[in-house]
Structure 1
Amino acid sequence: MGHTIGKSFTFEASHQLPGLPEGHKCGRLHGHNYSIEVTLAADGLVEPGFVTDFGDLAPFKSYLEETFDHRHLNDAMVTAPTSENLAECLAGWFISNVEPEIPGTLVAVRVSETPSSWAEYRPGRES
């Protein structure tokens, strides 16, 4: 795919990671200012020269705000609330709910807990 775009979103949430050694700081209740970045790609552009109109990603922003913003991720997710699992969860929701309505294809979802720590999920695609 020749063209790519990215869009960032943010939300604040808490989590507590189970199964860590005693004393591990991530085993305690804590929060992050999450940054979520989606990357989309397309072979060609749609008028007036877009991969996807950024405005068409508004349903994803609404989903993040309604489901995760100022929430406890342990309650909002069915898997352990790691950045890796959150990225995969968000990619699945995006592919099911946003991608059918837009011309671009999701390439990756990146979840950053801090400016220097992130996890990325790239969905496998059938050829």
Structure 2
Amino acid sequence: MYRIGKQFRFEAAHSLPNLPEGHQCARVHGHSYTVEVHLVSDELTQSGFVVDFAELGPFSTHIRDNFDHHDLNTVLDAPPTSEHLAAYFYRWCCDHLRLPDQVRVERVRISETASTFAEYAPSSP
């Protein structure tokens, strides 16, 4: 199995609802997010790639246009937790990236800080 990954970064603000009164994350605050997209394949292209990293360009554009310097509470239909963001980005990549048949999105990891992350991957069959 071959595995590749690429990181993307964006800045955004959010607040998290349904937290106890006085919880710091209930207030509007911002993060410097890092998103990692991991792709896997059992075989390589003739060029020796899982996929050319340039094929992830549409994801970079989507983040820039819809997430960078936005209030995430107005972008997502769910509370903008790292867990929801990871699942959203995973589904977006599966639905919009034009990947060869043998390549699949394995998981997406998102970090709000240098020491925290959430990850989404589909359940194993």
TM interval, shorter chain, is over 0.9
1:47 and 1:59 map into 2 onto residues whose CA distance is 23
Task: Report % sequence identity.
Answer: 46
Task: Indicate the SS of the match to 1:48.
Answer: coil
After TM superposition, give the deviation of residue 16 of structure 1 in Å.
0.1
Task: Indicate the SS of the match to 1:66.
Answer: helix
Task: Indicate the SS of the match to 2:95.
Answer: helix
| Corresponding residue of 1:122 | 121
| Corresponding residue of 1:6 | 5
RMSD: 1.0
| Corresponding residue of 2:17 | 18
| Corresponding residue of 2:52 | 53
Cα-to-partner distance string for 1:87-109 (whole Å, 9 max, x where unaligned): 001111110000xx112210000
User: What 5-or-longer segments of structure 1 have no aligned partner?
Assistant: none
1:123 and 1:78 map into 2 onto residues whose CA distance is 20
| Corresponding residue of 1:105 | 104
User: What 5-or-longer segments of structure 2 have no aligned partner?
Assistant: none
Q: Which amino acid aligns with 1:102?
A: L
| Corresponding residue of 2:81 | 82
Q: How many pairs align? A: 123
Structure 1 residue runs of 4+, over 4 Å off? none
The TM-score normalised by the length of structure 2 is 0.95
1:59 and 1:124 map into 2 onto residues whose CA distance is 25
The TM-score normalised by the length of structure 1 is 0.94
| Corresponding residue of 1:63 | 62
